[in-house]
Amino acid sequence: MEKSNPKRILVVGLLCVDIIAECDSYPIEDTDQRCREMRKQKGGNGANTSYVLAEFGISVDLLTNIGSGNDMEFVKMSMSSVNLSKSLHVNEPMPTSLVIINAQNGSRTILHSGQSLPELKLDDFTRINLSEYRWIHFEGRSSNAENICEMIAFIRHFNHNTEDPIIISIEIEKCREEIICFFDKADVVFVSKDHVKFHGYHTPEDGIQNLITKCKPGATLICAWGDKGAWAKPPSGEIVKSSAYPPKKVIDTLGAGDTFNATMIYSLMQNIPLQQSLDIACRISGAKVGQKGYHGLR
Ligand code: ADP
Ligand code: FRU
């Protein structure tokens, strides 16, 4: 059966506020210093990934709990290219990150606070009409592992009864035990370099060779490795890689991984081969680290 919009994607993940302090150098503790600029931006892996997908012209829905307070309208306005109508409003403060960007090398240091916002439950997810989607991407949140696994089981059940199954991807980013259970849940798994190191592997090849055994048969495992580029293992065949594409100057690495993930999803959805998709994702995330924010990446 033809879907109403064959290009629609659902992203399930966090929407928060990022307060970004861009500093001449990384600050010294217990000093009083000026920063170059302080700006506010929407943030959260789910929000950033869906925003970049929308920059590619994809119809994208974000399912998230939207907090309240002064920043709520600002964040919603800056997400106007993404459909938030499936999201829920919650009477708790917006989760907030304080981000220090070192202007010398574009590094980002994130201090996050968002514990008061409830996590999404299975009931929030089952309200969604799954037949609208070609692809569903999850931010693999450690604080919500059980619910996310239930949501994925719900999609799998849907997939058993359709000729047009939804592709499931998940991001395994943080260094936490609770998210190891996500490896065998998705068709496309994004594992971060930090998480690979958390398992004791020091190179992307080593990480992928070992962690692919945790994935379900037929899955693709993808690993971005900062300024070294990115690696991936297709369902059958050898590991492929792409080098990074550094900009003239690295300005802002915040959300490089979210941009990379969005571009991979976009490319794979267009049936672009894995190696070429990695290359495109490294080019776009290379462009991202050369600019502030995510606008105009495509
Ligand atoms: P995260 O934001 O999750 O830490 P990574 O640092 O692994 O993500 O970066 C994701 C992708 O962004 C990399 O695969 C690379 O293509 C690009 N990237 C990140 N940092 C740089 C950099 N300094 N120069 C060029 N490309 C970069
Ligand atoms: C970047 C980011 C920020 C947010 C933080 C949450 O990947 O999503 O926008 O503040 O990570 O962990």
* Closest of 77, 97, 12 to residue 47, by C-alpha: 12
Residue range 231-259: mean pLDDT, rounded? 97
Portion of the chain with pLDDT greater than 70, in percent: 98
Nearest ligand for residue 78 CA: 2
Whether pTM > 0.90 for this model: the answer is yes
Nearest CA to ligand 2 atom 11: 44
* Residue 209 alpha carbon to ligand 2 centre in Å: 28
Provide the pLDDT for residue 6: 60
* Residue 156 alpha carbon to ligand 1 centre in Å: 31
* Residue 246 alpha carbon to ligand 1 centre in Å: 9
Residue 162 CA to residue 289 CA, distance in Å, equals 40
* Residue 154 alpha carbon to ligand 1 centre in Å: 33
Q: Give 5-48 as a DSSP string.
A: STT-EEEE---EEEEEEEESSPPPTT-----SEEEEEEE-HHHH
Model pLDDT for residues 49-99, shown as the tens digit of each residue: 999 999 999 999 999 999 999 899 999 999 999 999 999 999 999 999 999
**Mutation test residue for ligand 1: of 112, 227, 243, the one with most atoms within 8 Å of CB:** 227
ipTM over 0.95? The verdict is yes
Over the range 25-48, which residues count as b (16 or more CB within 10 Å of their CB) and which as e? eeeeeeeeeeeeeeeebbbbbbbb
- 110 pLDDT more than 60: yes
Tokens of 278: 């990695």
- 292 pLDDT more than 70: yes
* Closest of 113, 106, 99, 98 to residue 14, by C-alpha: 113
Provide the pLDDT for residue 298: 87
Which residues have CB under 6 Å of ligand 2? Answer: 16, 18, 43-45, 48, 97, 110, 112, 254-255, 257-258
Tokens of 245: 């594409």
Is 15:133 a contact under the CB 8 Å cutoff?
no
Residue 66 CA to residue 77 CA, distance in Å, equals 13
- Decide whether any atom of ligand 1 lies within 6 Å of the 285 Cβ: yes
* Closest of 34, 144, 10 to residue 87, by C-alpha: 10
Provide the pLDDT for residue 295: 94
How does the average pLDDT of the chain come out, rounded?
96
Model pLDDT for residues 118-161, shown as the tens digit of each residue: 999 999 999 999 999 999 999 999 999 999 999 999 999 999 99
The neighbour count for residue 111, using CB atoms within 10 Å, is 10
Nearest ligand for residue 19 CA: 2
Residue range 210-236: mean pLDDT, rounded? 97
Provide the pLDDT for residue 115: 83
- 1 pLDDT more than 60: no
* Residue 260 alpha carbon to ligand 1 centre in Å: 8
Is 176:142 a contact under the CB 8 Å cutoff?
yes
Nearest CA to ligand 1 atom 8: 257
Provide the pLDDT for residue 4: 47
Nearest CA to ligand 2 atom 7: 255
Nearest ligand for residue 257 CA: 1
- 29 pLDDT more than 90: yes
